[in-house]
Every structure is written in structure tokens, then in C-alpha cells.
């Protein structure tokens, strides 16, 4: 079974906001992602665009390779 993820394999954390430049998640969210229930993952994913916009971060382009 595949777990939906916003990961685009650009794992860089902004030191000012603590958000990943690639997906907008925090380190704790990334660390527990596979343990979250599907509805919890979807709720976080729905919040990511607004979170990135509020932080003034422009999402980076995806890298080729495996996403987690």
C-alpha cells in the first residue's frame, strides 16, 4: 500500500521557519509521516500551500529519485 506524501526529494529546512523548502512540512511531521493516519496526512497536505505562502517560501523544484 502506497502512502501519499508531499515529498519531492528536496529536503532542505529553512532555518527561519523550520519548514522544508521542498514540501513545507516540519521535521517532526516528516519523522512521523509513516505513522500518521491517512486523514492526518491529508489534513497536513491540505495546509501546506497556505503554510508555505504565509512563510513567504517558494517551493523548490522536485529532484529525480525516490520520495519519502
Q: Tens digit of pLDDT per residue, the chain (68 long)?
A: 567 899 999 889 999 999 999 999 999 999 999 999 999 999 999 999 999 999 999 877 776 655 55
Q: What is the pTM of this model?
A: 0.82
Which residues contact residue 18 at a Cβ distance below 8 angstroms, ignoring those fewer than 6 apart?
A: 26, 27
Residues 47 and 29: their CA atoms lie apart, in Å, by 12
Residues 41 and 5: their CA atoms lie apart, in Å, by 8
Looking at residue 61, what is its pLDDT?
77
Amino acid at each position: 500500500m502506497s502512502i501519499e506524501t508531499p515529498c519531492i526529494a528536496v529536503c532542505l529546512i529553512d532555518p527561519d521557519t523550520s519548514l522544508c523548502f521542498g514540501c513545507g512540512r516540519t521535521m517532526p511531521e516528516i519523522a512521523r509521516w509513516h505513522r500518521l493516519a491517512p486523514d492526518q496526512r491529508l489534513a497536513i497536505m491540505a495546509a501546506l500551500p497556505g503554510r508555505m505562502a504565509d512563510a513567504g517560501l517558494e517551493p523548490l523544484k522536485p529532484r529525480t529519485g525516490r520520495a519519502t
